[in-house]
Amino acid sequence: MGRNGVSPTELGELCRAIQSETTLRLDGVMTHFADAEQSYDGTLAQLGTFERAIGALTKEGIPSVCRHACNTAGILLYPEAHYDMVRPGLGVYGLLPQLGKPAASPPMVPALELRARVLLVRKMARGTRLSYGGTHVLPRDSKIAVLGIGYGDGLPWHLSNKCDALLHGRRVSIVGRICMDVCLVDVTDVPAVRAGDIATLIGVEGTERIRAEDLARTLGTTEHEITTRLGSRLPRLYTGSVLQSGGSSFGGG
């Protein structure tokens, strides 16, 4: 990864330095996969390097330390690399990375749902241009709902005109550019929508589901970027035990 830690060629020197100090003890050794999701051969090569490093520890007189390597993708794709412990990241939150090859995965329910309140519903005429830049032109007389969430809350601006929300169990399109504090959805085909209703941007309504992974795929980014964007302006509502379930984030309004 080139971020921290030591290279295999430096491992022996580090071990000797640790052994020379009475206040230090080497308890564990780890590597972090650069591309466990997509690069099978590259990950096997990285594992080979890690195994050789573990062998070097034995030669330095340190035969038994805790070994760990696997992130969520590693857990699913490389059972031979589970070692003494694993380090799931996305998996802890019920999210799945995009894998380059099929893998059996346990049923995981996302811990996070993202919702926002409908602030206003208004009728708008065919041909009306919406939001900054007028990037969406209504193809028909429409009903547009204003949701109290925007890029200031962490809803990516680049999802403008590219993603959906759920209202009354139906998918509705985000139309026009996402603003700092609000965004617009076309609810023409969901006539029962009213101000005060709750829209789901990540989560489940009825038979429909939008996952954080879906938004990440749309933007060509990682799921971590979608979830870590969600800012402090969003109220958090935690349901159940912290140890048993995750929280839900609700947009403003």
Average pLDDT of the residues in 7-20: 87
Q: In 100-197, at which residue ranges do the beta strands (DSSP E only) sit? A: 113-124, 129-130, 136-137, 142-147, 164-167, 170-175, 183-186
CATH number of this structure's domain 114-250, picked from the four choices 3.30.70.141, 3.10.350.10, 1.10.150.20, 2.40.37.10: 2.40.37.10
CB 65 within 8 A of CB 19: no
Q: How far is CA 220 from CA 31, 123, 216, 226, 237, in A?
A: 26, 34, 6, 11, 29
The residue ranking higher by pLDDT, 114 or 3, is 114
The residue ranking higher by pLDDT, 9 or 145, is 145
In the chain, domain spans: 8-93, 114-250
In CATH, what is the architecture of 8-93? Alpha-Beta Barrel (3.20)
- List Cβ neighbours of 189 (8 Å cut-off, separation of 6 or more): 170, 172
pTM: 0.85
* Confidence band for 241, pLDDT divided at 50, 70 and 90: low
CB 106 within 8 A of CB 75: no
Distance between CA atoms of 166 and 110, rounded to whole angstroms? 16
- Is 8-93's fold the same as 114-250's? no
Q: For residue 242, is pLDDT > 60?
A: no
